[in-house]
Structure 1
């Protein structure tokens, strides 16, 4: 890939971040074509219309979490390499993105040299796995809930989570499971805390992406 022109997609809702990445690509001296996106919809449109080699994508956008579109990106272009470049915590989040199809995860707090090295590794090897994420991947073999957050739920919590994801409300779930409505509300709060999510849409996406 280094010998040919490389097509990049830089996706972040902050133009300064995208511009900073453009400068880095210029400093590295790559022969490349660069497309930009500021939301998830533009990411999908660009991947659909352009032959993107490497996409450098933030984790969160105003219109959602990029975790939800990773499988779609890979479906559109199985050869694309995706580097998640974000400010969220690598220790708790990177495996979710790797598991959903990302080829690398890099913190925005990284030094400039590390960012350049990550980009070069994506070019040469098609992936960038930091020492921290490598360690997490090793740990996940003994602790599956690191890579599949649903593993942290009890059987009952998972059952209720699935009903929420299907569109049922507190009253319907309480009736179906013969439980009190306030019990269901309490379990819902616990599910959201365990999965580090804020709404039913995120829950439904987690279940779609992680449930076997």
Structure 2
């Protein structure tokens, strides 16, 4: 996707915020705003006829909020990366965003350059807990485990880790990477073992903290 336009969809219940984000993004190359909506359900409906490469969504909206939007996308098999936006600097939100299946989390007071970087990186397949300072989140997780993995990760394992971060089940991951569900289960077990973690959420957070994904 290096030279192709990145199609962006935006959901925010505040018209002024939507207008501001659209004007801001218009100043960067490669970005094409294809959908804008005032809530999650309206965005879901619009995406059926106007697919996007990256979705930007406010977290707190009337009706279907940002977390609900991500879950609805994943439930219908839509893997489009989502960057969740919020004005609330609460340390629990990035964790909740990751658990919902979002690929990125960004405060609305981030710089335009941070927003552009977040869009281009998730469009390229990366997962970002937050491309803005994340000291509260990192501090919350650091006390548990900051040790290095016991072994390096293969390209396949990194791909599976990213899908785990997206909230996909073993069955959905198997379909995405053309492996049997049993093989994926083995990969996940190996990933958890290398990470020294007992569950998928901690493995994802540690992978993000250590910049493995």
TM-score band, normalised by shorter chain: 0.5 to 0.7
| Cα distance change on mapping 1:17 and 1:2 into 2, 3 Å | farther
Map of 1:38-187 to 2, 5 A cutoff?
38-128=38-128, 129-130=130-131, 132-133=133-134, 136=137, 139-140=140-141
Any conservation in 2 of the 1:47–1:73 contact (CA below 8 Å)? no
* 1:53-88 deviations in Å (ceiling 9; x for gaps): 100000011224321231211233533010001112
Q: Call closer, same or farther: CA 1:34–1:141 in 2, change over 3 Å.
A: same
Unaligned 5+ residue runs, structure 2? 145-200, 202-213
Q: Hey, what's the Cα distance between the residues in 2 that align with 1:31 and 1:40?
A: 21
Say which SS state the counterpart of residue 96 (structure 1) adopts: helix
CA contact (8 A) 1:67 1:97 kept: yes
* Count of paired positions: 145
Report the 3-state secondary structure (helix = DSSP H, G, I; strand = E; otherwise coil) of the residue aligned with 2:7: strand
Q: TM-score, normalised by structure 1?
A: 0.58
Higher helix share: 1
Q: Which runs of 4+ in 1 moved over 6 A?
A: none
Secondary structure of the residue that 2:52 maps to in structure 1? coil
Kindly indicate whether residue 40 of structure 2 is the aligned counterpart of residue 19 of structure 1.
no
Change (3 A) 1:142 1:69: farther
Q: Quote the offset at 1:27 in angstroms.
A: 0.9
Q: Aligned-pair distance for 1:49?
A: 3.1
| Alpha-carbon distance change, 134 to 52 in structure 1, aligned in 2, over 3 angstroms | farther
3-state secondary structure, aligned to 2:91: helix
The 1:12–1:31 alpha-carbon spacing in structure 2 relative to 1, beyond 3 Å, is: closer
Once residues 99 and 79 of structure 2 are traced to their aligned partners in structure 1, the CA distance between those partners, rounded to angstroms, is: 16
CA RMSD of aligned residues (A): 2.8
- Relative to the length of structure 2, the TM-score reads 0.58
CA contact (8 A) 1:90 1:105 kept: no
